[in-house]
Structure 1
Amino acid sequence: MTICRMLMRIMLVGGLALGAAAHADGITVHDARNRDIAINDAARTVSIGGAITEILYALGLDGRLVGIDTTSLYPPAALREKPNVGYMRQISAEGVLGLNPTLILAVQGSGPRETMDVLETAKVPLVLVPETFSEQGLLEKIRLVGHAMGVDARAECLSTAVASDLTQLRELRARVTKPVRVMFVMSLLNGRAMVAGRKTAADEIIQLAGAANAVSDYDGYKPMGDEAIVAAKPDVVLSIERGADSLQADAIYAHPAFALTPAAGAKAFIAMDGLYLLGFGPRTAAAARDLSLKLYPALAGQSGSFASAVLSANCRQ
């Protein structure tokens, strides 16, 4: 796209946003950039981030969605019904602006930076939703998205249901007497394992499930050498399912370093749906509960029934 065409697009979308101000809701949201964002119209919203899309559907706001990103895998209807603007870290400004949005909700970390700069210049309200991997961060995410859309009561309904599920999860976690050591492996590339450290979604979901992250000496995702893998002594290897690119148990067991760990000795490998496991959306407590029962099968008979309040709650009106 030429600079001239991009400027014309910016002027067009900016004009649409100003035209919508006659129907202003007068909402202000404090986002991940520590900025106050004024929102006048949320009738045409683009969602960038699977958890945001999941929240919007749970709040009955799918009718306002005019675009989503490729991580918006739940509910499955989202990818069938809505135009796709690409992967959240490789968003095209033209693709987003071409949908004539009046609001963009993007999870913190969306990009690239150049695209986010163009979207800000377009004068369409751009809310970066904080990505804080904690119970409180999850509840605040729901409330922020609901407030941005002008449906605070629905958001409170959903956050209350999620809080109820987290309480049930806490009760299950209290029954764990000896936490197992779990290593989350994103991928194996040329024999090098990409492993999750602290301050990651994987680290938090492992702890929510009542286990311990076998890697606690760095933040984020980093390649790990063979000696460090052996020294970490993981009891279980955890990964995500992603079609043909999924990490396979046999690849872990055959790896020269993992072969020396308790995880390989016990053939302890777990793979779960990526958005469900790491998305930190409304289903996170259920995902952590499922992971916990995989890690501690004996809890299945002790835990009673986990009746998800999220599944039974009607927060769409």
Structure 2
Amino acid sequence: MVEHRPLPAALRRRDWLAAAAGGLGVALVGPSARAAAAPRLLSAGGSITELVYRLGAGGQLLATDSTSLFPAEAARLPKLGYHRALSAEGLLAQRADLLLASADAGPPQVLDQVQAAGLRVLRGVPGHGFAALQSQIGWLAAALGRPAEGRQLAGFIEAERARLAAAIRPGPVAPRVLFVLSHAAGNVQVAGSGTAAQTLIELAGGRNALQGVQGYRPLSAEAAVAAAPDWILGTLQGLDALGGVPALLARPGLALTPAGRAGRVLAFDALLMLGHGPRLPQAIEQLARGLGTLA
């Protein structure tokens, strides 16, 4: 089976990387020994790829999945396809030592197949927000044998979390935000609870306008009107797919909402907003500024 060994949350910060490394069987080594034994890597998941670069191991990557578009070096690497629809042939053809896969990468049978063929597979930590990000940093720093880089990045992320928590002021009533996912014109969905979109909205001082729904659901005129969002939030890629803001507001019910009538639409890069990787503080700050919740 695919290895998935999340870090124990109760570990003290100074111990967590060493403990995780022991759990994964990864030796924490110095720079010279690390360079000599650096594994050839594949990454399946945009936020995983970003973290590999932030931890200083981007030069070990042979290929990444199609969502790995940041930084620019990652976008130029050979692509393995969409991280949820990987193929055994494509993975094994890279002759890598280690596949670093996001928690939702798959299909699971493909990951099991390539591991049986000799490609080591490590699965990331599920979840969204700062706690999941810190666990992801610890897991990956241990897997790459880069504890110092992991501690430095974790400290930066914690400082940014504290700064934003103090700076975001939602006011007496948090703005209601409806996230619309529209990367294909014929498949427009809205985000409910348990999604990366809702977590980001809440961290930015907003409130998800779509209540009582788990995950994503197709957009309907009735649901849009009932949600009554103050803001409609989307991705830049989604707006491009639909043909711009006017085309988005022409979708069922959106023009009849408070946000639609006022033309209040925000859009950001999809990976920045939904990846919940090392740029999570940047995504929160940009959204909070757009919503007017940043002091």
Q: Relative to 1, partners in 2 of residues 1:262 and 1:114: Cα closer, same or farther, differing over 3 Å?
A: same
1:64-87: CA deviations, max 9, x gaps?
A: 11221111111012122x222111
Match runs of 1:114-129 below 5 Å: 114-129=109-124
Q: Which runs of 5+ in 1 are unaligned?
A: 1-27, 304-317
Contact 2:184 2:242 in 1 (8 A): no
Question: 2:155 is aligned with what amino acid?
Answer: T
Match of residue 163, structure 1, among 153, 158, 172: 158
The 5 Å alignment of 1:220-259 reads: 220-242=215-237, 244-245=240-241, 248-259=244-255
1:247, distance to aligned residue in structure 2 (A) = 6.1
Equivalent residue number for residue 53 of structure 1: 49
Task: Output the TM-score relative to the length of structure 1.
Answer: 0.78
Contact 2:24 2:143 in 1 (8 A): no
| Equivalent residue in structure 2 for 1:292, among 285, 288, 293 | 288
Q: Is the 8 A contact 2:184 2:241 kept in 1?
A: no
- Runs of 5+ unmatched residues, structure 2: 8-22, 28-36
Which range moves more in the overlay, 156-165 or 82-91?
82-91
Provide the C-alpha distance between the structure 2 equivalents of 1:220 and 1:214, rounded to a whole number of angstroms.
13
Q: Give the number of the structure whose alpha-carbon radius of gyration is greater.
A: 1
Q: Which residue in the other structure is 1:268 paired with?
A: 264
What's the counterpart of residue 103 of structure 2?
A: 108
Which of 173, 195, 208 is residue 190 of structure 2 equivalent to? 195
Runs of 4+ in 1 over 4 A off after TM superposition: 36-42, 188-192
What does the per-residue CA deviation read over 1:274-299, in whole Å, with 9 as the maximum and x for residues that have no partner?
Answer: 011111111111111111001117x4
Q: Root-mean-square deviation (CA), in Å? A: 2.3
1:23 aligned partner: none
Residues 167-217 of structure 1 show CA distances to partners (whole Å, capped at 9, x for unaligned) of 111112246442100000002877774011111110101011100001121
For 2:159, the aligned partner's letter is S
> For structure 1, which segment, 240-249 or 226-235, has the greater mean C-alpha deviation from structure 2 after superposition?
240-249
CA shift in 2, pair 1:29/1:91, >3 Å = closer
Q: Does 1:30 align with 2:5?
A: yes
| Residue 37 of structure 1: how far off its partner (Å) | 4.9
Partner-residue secondary structure (3-state), 2:266:
strand
C-alpha contact (below 8 Å) 2:183/2:241 kept by paired residues: no
TM-score w.r.t. the length of structure 2 is 0.84
Q: Alignment length, in residue pairs?
A: 268
- Post-superposition shift, 1:165? 0.9
1:118 to partner: Cα distance = 1.2
